[in-house]
Structure 1
């Protein structure tokens, strides 16, 4: 079996890129041949390579890509991303294209029950072909220390492309008051600038907080192991999410996580069991301070998180469930 994995901007270190590469690696271990097609504004692909299965990631961008092909695939499946569910499905400019794409898909893959609920509330007729498969995780082997943190500091890490939905200024502005109380606090931002306007906002905040905030820029995924090795807590402050790979990987690395209250984060983090979920800025600061000051709490939460990921988010299980969908759809 050969599977085409079609995803936006595969060349950029985004969450979807990590997801697609992990799925491709998992499928290859099961002797499934894969080919990754990157959808970009400059992509001039007019004809898809021959394959038994076409698997698109991100319904809106996949649909716009299909429109430009000389020959459309006879069938395809779709993995819904956080942007699909939280934005494009409800934006009047994109909603019609998303719905058309989903109605014509052979199968639809979502990451969790809440995502399925959101989808079926808008499009109940696709219930029969919608499957829940949680994201897997894989170990990141490269843990060589190339960016050592300062001695006797407490390191928060936020890994995300810089765009408005990721709410990165909130992390800087909120942690600043904690830094003013405890000079050990440090924050590393990891990820490329994906929206120039938001990048300028973040750059100004970086300049104003350069004593304790460090921007590492774009870091190859294979190098993220060294980041997790040094982190004390990993953040996600996004307004919306699908199922963030950085949080899955942090939890797998036995780290406490502090995340915003959105459906993607709620699907993997249980409050005070495998991490902390905040709704207000006061809650964010309260939980951040608890994590900072209580080593026993950090260890317990981290161990619970690692066990949860091992039991519920294996890449091998993810690949097997996808293969089952492929076989059922194209038998």
Structure 2
């Protein structure tokens, strides 16, 4: 089967969309598919259409309903092939709710099938477009389980380190943990916060850099290549997620679980779909809750170990990348059989 993937951020390798697409691309190839990714941030218009036509896909698979879905809709019409769309986060939480929603409706209604990572995303879609709920499949994100997840020595001796892996843009809300963790740092000077991720919004990134000057315990590492993230996870004590919304499950949350790291995450539905309170992590509702639970994790090594081990077991049992790719392949076959 020839699968053409339409991806908005394929070459920004550290973004969530790129991590997802590269993983699915790799595992689809292992199942015997011929896969080619068309990155809409590198090629567009007639050039894109010519490249897709030359590849002659049996099916098009778009990631992000707005940035990928609209492109796939136009290409599918021009080439006479079916397409499907996977929701990735800001499409369902933002584009479907703002001035872009009418453009989005056409792309979604034209798709043979839609895919959400979790039922909460399908439910949110149904609130806006109830007729599409039945056409929306649930395929959880996968994550590769590392063989070696043993801790490495911290970069700074005696430090207790929180890691916040996220692109610098407003939806990731990376400014929020600074003040609460500063309160914890005042009582526990061994506390550190590391931020890692690409600049995706220059104005927001400038605010982050300015804020970091006021918090000596926090440091921005810049872009950390995905192939180096494993060593970073192994050197830290707790992994944070402070997002305002997530598309059902964040890659960084699943990766932290794969490395048996305890999680402290914002209490949003995208995180609740993966993180169970006091089982695989802790969820915070506000700044006071974040301080209290961060302190609890810093003081209780047994709790950290329990949460980390439970998280790794959950990833092993429920978030297999092989199963993820096989589910997509089954869906492709179903679509092609009906077209």
What is the CA-CA distance between 1:128 and the residue it aligns to? 2.7
* C-alpha displacement of 1:46: 3.0
Counterpart of 1:82 (choices 89, 92, 96) is: 89
Secondary structure of 2:221's aligned partner: strand
Per-residue deviation at 1:139? 3.5
Residue matched to 1:118: 124
User: Partner of 2:9 in structure 1?
Assistant: 9
Deviations 1:230-270 (A, max 9, x none): 01000000001111100100011111001111121111111
Say if 1:191 and 1:219, in contact at 8 Å, map to a contact too: yes
2:166 is aligned with 1:160: yes
SS at match of 1:24: helix
Count residues in correspondence.
329
User: How far apart, in 1, do the equivalents of 2:36 and 2:152 lie?
Assistant: 32
Q: Which residue of 2 aligns with 1:228?
A: 233
C-alpha distance in structure 1 between counterparts of 2:88 and 2:137, whole Å:
14
SS of the equivalent of 2:274 reads coil
**In structure 1, what is the equivalent of residue 325 of structure 2?**
319
1:59-208 pair list within 5 angstroms? 59-66=65-72, 71-91=78-98, 93-139=99-145, 149-208=155-214
Tell me by how many angstroms 1:121 deviates.
Answer: 2.0
**8 Å CA contact retained: 2:73, 2:111:** no
Measured in 1, the distance between the counterparts of 2:88 and 2:191 equals 33
Quote how far apart the aligned CAs of 1:174 are.
1.8
User: 1:71: how far off?
Assistant: 3.1
Instruction: Give the Å deviation of 1:181.
Output: 1.1
> Is contact 1:57-1:79 (8 Å) kept?
yes
SS of 1:208's partner is: coil
Q: CA RMSD in A?
A: 2.1
What residue in structure 2 maps to residue 217 of structure 1?
A: 222
Q: Paired residue for 1:45, among 48, 59, 67?
A: 48
Contact 2:73 2:110 in 1 (8 A): no
The answer to whether the Cα contact below 8 Å between 1:257 and 1:275 also exists between their aligned partners in 2 is yes
Query: Contact 2:245 / 2:270 at 8 angstroms: preserved in 1?
Result: yes
Preserved contact between residue 60 and residue 81 of structure 2 (Cα < 8 Å): no
TM-fit CA distance, 1:142: 9.3
2-structure distance, mates of 1:121, 1:195:
29
Alignment of 1:12-31 (within 5 A): 12=12, 13-31=14-32
Secondary structure class of the residue paired with 1:240: coil
Shift of the 67–116 alpha-carbon distance from structure 1 to 2, 3 Å rule, reads: closer
Relative distance call for 1:62 and 1:111 in structure 2 (3 A) is same
**1:290 and 2:296 equivalent?**
yes
Report the more deviating stretch, 198-207 or 70-79: 70-79
Indicate how the Cα distance of structure 1 residues 196 and 188 shifts in structure 2: closer, same or farther if over 3 A, else same.
same
Q: CA deviation at 1:144?
A: 12
CA displacement at 1:64 relative to structure 2 = 4.2
User: Do residues 240 (structure 1) and 241 (structure 2) align?
Assistant: no
5+ long unaligned stretches in structure 2: none
